[in-house]
Structure 1
Amino acid sequence: MRRHNVDWLTKWEPSRVPGSPDAVEDRQAFVARCAARARETQLGIGHGFGIFVDGYFAGEINVNAIQRGPFQNAYVGYWIDERRAGRGYVPESLVLVARYAFEDLLLHRVQVAIIPRNTASRRVAEKLGLRNEGTAERYLEINGAWEDHVRYAITAEEWTVRRDELLTAWAY
């Protein structure tokens, strides 16, 4: 799936560390990536989920960099197979992950950072009514260049108010 979507995804994803193996092309690197994800889950600092459409793997959504203490924050990242894009699977997945983050992980804040020109991904955040918190300049290195990102967020208080509306519209 990732190999099929390389051109579609490379323009949006953080650069791989130079010299590190490619988990798409290198089986051992993929196994190591899976083990690292399992360890993140054990440590409570990250959770990954597959997006499945009609029983087939179509993408991934992750709760990353979970911070506890006074921040109680996480970042969400996602990708979808280009052939499945624009059909509502990502907004649905993001609502379900938000429910998990707020109701199971008991986080206070969930953030999504999106390259400004990624209009499809920005549309996801805007459809769900995530708050636009402005642009972080040169935020992440993407495909060899430091890219600005628009930061969107939702807090536990906002989730409580909008929970039923979001779940009814996107998940039920």
Structure 2
Amino acid sequence: MTLREKPGDGAPVTGLTLRPLRRSDADDWLALRARNARWLDRWEATTPEDLGGDRRPGRTRWQRAGRPPTFAEYVAALTRAANDGSTLPFAIELHGELVGQLTVSSITYGSLCSASIGYWVSEHVAGRGVVPTAVAMATDHCFFELGLHRIEVNIRPENAPSLRVVEKLGLRDEGVRVAYLHIQGRWCDHRTFALTAEEVPDGLLARWRRAHQG
């Protein structure tokens, strides 16, 4: 599944595409992460099992071995999650260049109809509207194509660049979740920002475009 930003009056950014992450992205993805290590690593999610091998039932083979997955294993895991409908993993491309990643995760239907969005982007395109536009595109897809009701984004309180993303998009601050996610070897607080479909009847991308024009 591929989502493309359609050019138009007030478009915050042009040439933006969200498309599936592929095994063939390995070289570009690994090089991008290496160049942005200081920019990204402090926000990198971990699990307690990353500290050593974990042979409990249900663990992946790299968790059992106490090692990170290879890129191919990582893409295969995301593809399986996409196939079962729980995740939408996207590569972020700007004018054909891989510049980051956005993942819609924890997709739940029934009485909840909700999902979470996480993202990272290369420092060299930060502040240019790439991430807000990507989040808006993914949110509209979740609301209008998947029929979800609520989207949330969880952010470390000290992650100023990411906080600016949700501020630009006008997501509602729902407060702090204590020790919510395991980040770089410890449990960390996160602030939760959310939006429901009723708040953006014509779409989050349309609202973001209007805000950008203003």
Following TM superposition, the consecutive aligned residue runs of length 4 or more in structure 1 with deviations greater than 6 angstroms are none
Write the letter of the residue equivalent to 1:46. T
Counterpart for residue 149 of structure 1: 190
1:42-121 aligned at under 5 Å gives the runs: 42-121=83-162
Aligned residues: 165
Counterpart for residue 37 of structure 2: 6
- The alpha carbon displacement at 1:161 in A equals 5.5
1:18 paired to 2:18: no
Q: Which runs of 5+ in 2 are unaligned?
A: 1-31, 53-65
Residue aligned with 1:11, SS: helix
**Partners of 1:104 and 1:162 in 2: how far apart?**
12
Residue aligned with 2:182, SS: strand
**Partners of 1:105 and 1:36 in 2: how far apart?**
21
- The alpha carbon displacement at 1:67 in A equals 1.1
- The alpha carbon displacement at 1:3 in A equals 1.9
Query: Normalising by structure 2, what TM-score?
Result: 0.72
- The alpha carbon displacement at 1:22 in A equals 2.7
- The alpha carbon displacement at 1:81 in A equals 0.6
Give deviations 1:82-104, integer Å, cap 9, x for gaps: 11111110001000001111011
Q: Contact 2:200 / 2:207 at 8 angstroms: preserved in 1?
A: no
Q: Contact 1:45 / 1:65 at 8 angstroms: preserved in 2?
A: yes
**Partners of 2:105 and 2:51 in 1: how far apart?**
22
Counterpart for residue 55 of structure 2: none
Write the letter of the residue equivalent to 1:158. E
**Partners of 1:74 and 1:137 in 2: how far apart?**
20
Residue 133 of structure 1, aligned match among 163, 167, 174: 174
1:165 paired to 2:165: no
Counterpart for residue 20 of structure 2: none
Counterpart for residue 59 of structure 2: none
Residue aligned with 1:36, SS: helix
**Partners of 2:120 and 2:203 in 1: how far apart?**
24
**Partners of 1:59 and 1:169 in 2: how far apart?**
24
Identity of aligned residues (%): 38
- The alpha carbon displacement at 1:162 in A equals 5.4
Q: Which runs of 5+ in 1 are unaligned?
A: 24-28
- The alpha carbon displacement at 1:147 in A equals 1.1
Give deviations 1:95-148, integer Å, cap 9, x for gaps: 000111101111111000000010110110011000000011111111112111
